[in-house]
């Protein structure tokens, strides 16, 4: 995976840095694994905006990605690496020996023609999915289940991976991409390797229009508003945020913990910095 710097033939391309898509081997998705995707971005079940600055964007179709990897003991051949508009990582199309086709998140080290497998008897090599009890300590994994049978939830973004630090009885200790160290049950499934497309974080869109195509609407800084519209607004000239920084509704915005207490807090051995 690499990036390409565009020739500045237009103002929007002058600062753009785009992925070169050199790893992708197919342009169109597998017909039986796509579905219509109704967009209700930023709105709840009453249609009210609950998350600002979302909306519009290019029309998408959903790719059915197998996060569970519950098809154990059946080898599958990697057929293609494809783009997915709904996530930052690439996806990989698998053809199983029994004829079924499925998408999985594309591991960084996996290539077309490789064979992958899931289950207790699988080898701990990139693309294979195993319970944490069967993976050697020090291995980097992704698509980790929070609880046995819950489907992969952790370390699914482009270029991310969690590291298995060790095991104690029925507990496995992982260092997550955020730096948090957390306990998982050894029966939780995880896929060996890092997620593909690690240069995603270095992409520069170059112009506002490309950001709008992704479904992100403009955001106005609070210091540019009036005093009636935002706690940071008002004043003569450029006045800055002041102290302490607040949200538009007056809640403290920085330096104050906002995470609610959860039953799963006991599984966190070390918080992220």
pLDDT single digits (tens) 99-140 = 999 999 999 999 999 999 999 999 999 999 999 999 999 999
Contacts with 170 (C-beta within 8 Å, 6 or more apart), sequence order:
185, 186, 187
* 3-class secondary structure, 242: coil
CA gap 172, 182 in Å, rounded: 8
pTM here is 0.91
CA gap 141, 165 in Å, rounded: 11
Per-residue confidence (pLDDT) for residue 1, from 0 to 100: 57
The domains of the chain, with CATH numbers, are 3-201 (2.40.50.140)
Q: Residues 203-246: pLDDT tens digits?
A: 999 999 999 999 999 999 999 999 999 999 999 999 988 888 99
Q: What is the DSSP letter of 97?
A: T
Q: Centre a 10 Å sphere on the Cβ of residue 97 and count the other Cβ atoms it contains.
A: 12
Structure tokens at 270: 């070390």
- CA-CA distances (angstroms) from residue 27 to 30, 81, 109? 10, 9, 21
List 190's β-bridge partners, or say none.
130
Q: Residues 248-271: pLDDT tens digits?
A: 999 998 888 888 899 889 999 999
């Amino acid at each position: 995976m690499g990036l390409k710097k565009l020739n500045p033939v237009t103002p929007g391309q002058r600062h753009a840095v785009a992925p070169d898509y050199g790893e992708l081997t197919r342009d169109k998705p597998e017909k039986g694994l796509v579905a219509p995707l109704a967009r209700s971005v930023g709105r709840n079940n009453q249609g009210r905006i609950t998350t600002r600055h979302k909306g519009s964007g290019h029309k998408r179709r959903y790719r059915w990605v197998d996060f569970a990897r519950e098809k154990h003991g059946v080898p599958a051949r990697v057929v293609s690496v494809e783009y997915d508009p709904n996530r930052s990582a690439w996806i990989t199309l698998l053809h199983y020996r029994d004829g079924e086709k499925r998408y999985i998140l594309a591991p960084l080290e996996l290539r077309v023609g490789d064979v992958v497998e899931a289950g207790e008897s699988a080898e701990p090599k990139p693309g294979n999915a195993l319970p944490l009890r069967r993976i050697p300590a020090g291995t980097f994994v992704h698509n980790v289940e929070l609880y046995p049978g819950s489907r992969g939830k952790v370390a699914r973004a482009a270029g991310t991976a969690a590291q298995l630090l060790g095991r104690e009885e029925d507990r496995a200790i992982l260092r997550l991409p955020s730096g948090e160290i957390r306990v998982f049950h050894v029966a939780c499934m995880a896929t060996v390797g890092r997620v593909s497309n690690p240069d995603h974080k270095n992409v520069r869109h170059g112009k506002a229009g490309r950001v709008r195509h992704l479904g992100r609407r403009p955001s106005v800084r609070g210091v540019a508003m009036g005093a009636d519209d935002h706690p940071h607004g008002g004043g003569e000239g450029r006045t800055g945020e002041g102290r302490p920084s607040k949200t538009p509704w007056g809640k403290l915005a920085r330096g104050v913990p906002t995470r609610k207490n959860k039953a799963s807090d006991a599984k966190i051995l070390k918080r992220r910095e």
